[in-house]
Amino acid sequence: MLDQGGQSMLLAGRRLDNIGLALEQRGGSPAGYMPVDIYDSWMRCIALGLDMRRPPPPEFVSPATLRQEQQRCSLVRGLALAEMHTLHQQISGSNFMVAFASAEGLLLDIIGDRSFRDASDAAGIRPGALWTERHCGTNGLGTAAHLKRPVAVHGDQHFFPRYNNLTCVAAPIFAPDGELTGILDASSDCLSRQTHTQALVGMAATQIENGLFREYHRGNILIAFHNRGEYLHTLSAGLLAVDEDGRILSANRAARVLLHGLPAAAGRHFADVFRTDFNRFVDEGRRSERQSLEDDVGSQFVATIENTRQFPMMSQPIVKAPPPPAPAVAEFVSADPAIAAIVRQVENAAARKMPILVRGETGTGKEQLARHAHAASRRSGSFVPVNCAALPDSLIEAELFGYAEGSFTGARKGGASGLFKEADGGTLFLDEIGDMPVSLQAVLLRFLDDWTVRPVGGAKRKVDVQLVSATNADLDESIAKGRFRADLLFRLNTLEVTLPPLRERSDFADIARHVLARVDPSARLTPGAIERLAELEWAGNIRQLRNVLSRLSLAEQGGLIGEAAVKAAIGDLTAKRLSASAPSSGGLKRGLRDLQRAQLLSAYAEAGNNVSKAARKLGVSRNMIYRALREQD
Ligand SMILES: Nc1ncnc2c1ncn2[C@@H]1O[C@H](COP(=O)(O)OP(=O)(O)OP(=O)(O)O)[C@@H](O)[C@H]1O
């Protein structure tokens, strides 16, 4: 007995007869009739409710959204366009087109023969069109985006007969962090099918990925290597990015293949993978273009440091380097490899002015990370933090975007330029973005279209800001409840990272020592004290840890903080702890939230309605108090 999907397929005409037969006779096996990837894709299309007899009209985003997306993907697009031109020349003949789409299946660019372009335009194949499976059924771009691997879709393998005269070959493009970042596609009419197209598209995609790798790691040491010297400058060479201490930041796919079985992951050290001494290797790289490199299992490679001139000698400095400039922000502890990877992603995004969204529990360091992003971006303007939870709804638009004198009752004399303007050339940090009123979300969305502020009652002007937003609220739940716009989230989180809670970090000891040194440089923690502290749950995360360490250092008067002092403080800590555990039952969760709110509000009242005092007393952020106050209203 066929299910509804199977019946709809059978009804769809002669081209489905074979598959219908396979379903009936072999219990759903498509073997022998079409490639499994295509069969699976058809099944997904049917599950999505697509009907091949009634293809939906092509769907396009607005020109403004297309421009915005093209801008957002500018780095990968720049690299892709260069490859697309080469690819177009390589695959000669007419009736041919090369396309590039975003990871979301939005067609961004096309290079092709005039005649083919005109014909495809009619079929909706032009920039701005959405080519996911949901929109166009089985097709090269959409199916490769879904599978995250190369795919070829020939003629009647397309789900909708409208595309049966096309042959499409597509390959995904991955960023160095492993995220899908675009799809490259070569399409021709069925008659001009070319045998080498698939290999050429795959090579072009790798070339783009390597270009991205080099761009992302321009400021790091870039090593290319291969076990045969003549392959050093080809696509099969491995690429490795390391920092000046020899810590591995990233390895491309070829490097992972060449170093198969060795720990070449981000966070590991050069010495974990290679027998060759790191400092000697870097210094030698300045003297000769090529040198040998031996891995930990004895394989020999020929290697080159691609950007060696940027880096100083490691082992024998000839001239003493000037002391590095003082860091703009207190150092961001990131000895945990997961945190190190987050920091690296944030630095890369900030260097490219991509909007960043930082998620994480209270006190996990979201603002600190935003400050780090600002410092890493080397932007000359200011870091301007805005707490969306703390601003009254009625004033938040004026505060953010500014206003002209006399534009509303209570407006300051001379007006105000607004926080966006203040952050011009710098970074605007929108903390507690989930608490932004819905009406203002629309204004922010419009701003993100053209980066232009329109002060209340004043003239508009363009600003150049790096946007970092943060939240510890469940934005997905807010979206489901209509309190947060999904389209805004999509624009704010070009890069989205989540800082783990302190209890899940492997660098607790480093954080504790770092935080104590900031609170009291003369105090020290014994290893036993660190062990006891690490056992706690730390609902308030690093902020709570800082408060506890301040209290301990005061009690120990700048001396050595031992296990006994920590043990004595633990009872106190446990009693005062605000629960961070996430109970499974909704009711229990709600009950705990109410309890927590009551606790926050009573501390606020006890502190004489002083938010900062209450937050300090409880070891929570001021945001938590602000939220409790808003929820009370
Ligand atoms: N990686 C880090 N290294 C050193 N100090 C840190 C780090 N992360 C956070 N801190 C310190 O922890 C405290 C809390 O950090 P921060 O205010 O950035 O947290 P948050 O997540 O923004 O909190 P909230 O959501 O409650 O506003 C600050 O004193 C900050 O300096």
Report DSSP letters for 124-146, one per residue. T-STTBB-SHHHHSS-HHHHHHH
CB of 381 closer than 8 Å to CB of 374: no
Which pLDDT score, from 0 to 100, does residue 169 have?
Answer: 92
3-state SS, residue 429: strand
Which pLDDT score, from 0 to 100, does residue 321 have?
Answer: 37
For residues 111 and 188, give the distance between their C-alpha atoms in angstroms, rounded to a whole number: 12
Give me the chain's average pLDDT, please. 80
pLDDT band, very low/low/confident/very high, at 30 (cuts 50, 70, 90): low
For residues 266 and 258, give the distance between their C-alpha atoms in angstroms, rounded to a whole number: 16
Q: Which atom of ligand 1 is nearest to the CA of 621?
A: 26
Q: Which atom of ligand 1 is nearest to the CA of 367?
A: 18
Helix H or strand E encompassing 411: none
Check whether 445 has a pLDDT greater than 70. yes
Of the residues 331, 347, 368, 578, which should be mutated to test ligand 1's pocket, given the most ligand atoms within 8 Å of the CB?
A: 368
Which pLDDT score, from 0 to 100, does residue 95 have?
Answer: 74
Check whether 575 has a pLDDT greater than 70. no
Helix H or strand E encompassing 187: strand 180-189
For residues 240 and 19, give the distance between their C-alpha atoms in angstroms, rounded to a whole number: 46
Q: Write out pLDDT tens, residues 334-344.
A: 888 888 888 88
Ligand 1 neighbour 497 (Cβ under 6 A)? no
The CATH number corresponding to 63-214 among 3.40.50.10490, 3.30.70.141, 3.10.180.10, 3.30.450.40 equals 3.30.450.40
Beta strands in 38-106 (DSSP E): 96-101
Check whether 22 has a pLDDT greater than 80. no
Torsion of Cα atoms, 440 then 444 then 445 then 449, to 10°: 150
Task: Name the nearest CA neighbour of 193 among 295, 91, 277, 315.
Answer: 91
Check whether 189 has a pLDDT greater than 70. yes
Q: Per-residue pLDDT averaged across 224-236, rounded?
A: 86
For residues 114 and 97, give the distance between their C-alpha atoms in angstroms, rounded to a whole number: 9
Check whether 248 has a pLDDT greater than 90. yes
Ligand 1 neighbour 214 (Cβ under 6 A)? no
Which pLDDT score, from 0 to 100, does residue 130 have?
Answer: 95
For residues 147 and 167, give the distance between their C-alpha atoms in angstroms, rounded to a whole number: 18
For residues 213 and 135, give the distance between their C-alpha atoms in angstroms, rounded to a whole number: 31
Check whether 280 has a pLDDT greater than 70. yes
Check whether 584 has a pLDDT greater than 50. no
Going from the Cα of 370 to the center of ligand 1, the distance in angstroms, rounded, reads 10
Ligand 1 neighbour 544 (Cβ under 6 A)? no
> Which CATH architecture group holds 504-576?
Orthogonal Bundle (1.10)
Q: Do 504-576 and 337-499 fall under one CATH topology?
A: no
CATH superfamily for domain 337-499: P-loop containing nucleotide triphosphate hydrolases (3.40.50.300)
Q: Per-residue pLDDT averaged across 557-568, rounded?
A: 82
pLDDT band, very low/low/confident/very high, at 87 (cuts 50, 70, 90): confident
Going from the Cα of 542 to the center of ligand 1, the distance in angstroms, rounded, reads 6
Place of tokens 């961001």: 332
Q: Domain 586-632 carries which CATH code?
A: 1.10.10
Ligand 1 neighbour 550 (Cβ under 6 A)? no
Q: What percent of the chain is modeled with pLDDT above 70?
A: 80
Kindly provide the b/e burial profile for residues 337-355, where b requires at least 16 CB atoms within 10 angstroms of the residue's own CB: bbbbbbbbbbbbbbbebbb
pLDDT band, very low/low/confident/very high, at 83 (cuts 50, 70, 90): confident
Which pLDDT score, from 0 to 100, does residue 354 have?
Answer: 85
Ranges of each domain in the chain: 63-214, 217-310, 337-499, 504-576, 586-632
Q: What percent of the chain is modeled with pLDDT above 90?
A: 29
- Residue 225: HSE in the Cβ half-sphere, 13 Å Cα cutoff: 27
pLDDT band, very low/low/confident/very high, at 209 (cuts 50, 70, 90): very high
Which pLDDT score, from 0 to 100, does residue 274 have?
Answer: 95
For residues 617 and 343, give the distance between their C-alpha atoms in angstroms, rounded to a whole number: 30
Q: Write out pLDDT tens, residues 610-625.
A: 877 887 777 677 777 7
For residues 596 and 370, give the distance between their C-alpha atoms in angstroms, rounded to a whole number: 27
Ligand 1 atom 28, closest CA:
543
Which pLDDT score, from 0 to 100, does residue 353 have?
Answer: 83
Going from the Cα of 295 to the center of ligand 1, the distance in angstroms, rounded, reads 39
Which pLDDT score, from 0 to 100, does residue 457 have?
Answer: 73
For residues 66 and 165, give the distance between their C-alpha atoms in angstroms, rounded to a whole number: 27
- Residue 604: HSE in the Cβ half-sphere, 13 Å Cα cutoff: 20
Which pair of tokens denotes residue 225?
């290597």
Q: Which atom of ligand 1 is nearest to the CA of 364?
A: 21
Ligand 1 neighbour 619 (Cβ under 6 A)? no
Which pair of tokens denotes residue 480?
């489901």
Check whether 459 has a pLDDT greater than 70. yes
Ligand 1 atom 7, closest CA:
365
Among 369-373, 466-470, 505-509, 567-571, which stretch is predicted with the lowest mean pLDDT? 567-571
Going from the Cα of 55 to the center of ligand 1, the distance in angstroms, rounded, reads 52
- Residue 36: HSE in the Cβ half-sphere, 13 Å Cα cutoff: 3
More confident residue, 318 or 532: 532
CB of 233 closer than 8 Å to CB of 224: yes
DSSP-derived letter for residue 343 is H
Ligand 1 neighbour 39 (Cβ under 6 A)? no
Ligand 1 neighbour 367 (Cβ under 6 A)? yes
Check whether 458 has a pLDDT greater than 80. no
Of the residues 336, 367, 388, 618, which should be mutated to test ligand 1's pocket, given the most ligand atoms within 8 Å of the CB?
A: 367
Q: Write out pLDDT tens, residues 485-537.
A: 988 988 898 888 899 999 988 889 999 999 998 888 888 999 989 999 998 88
Ligand 1 neighbour 547 (Cβ under 6 A)? no
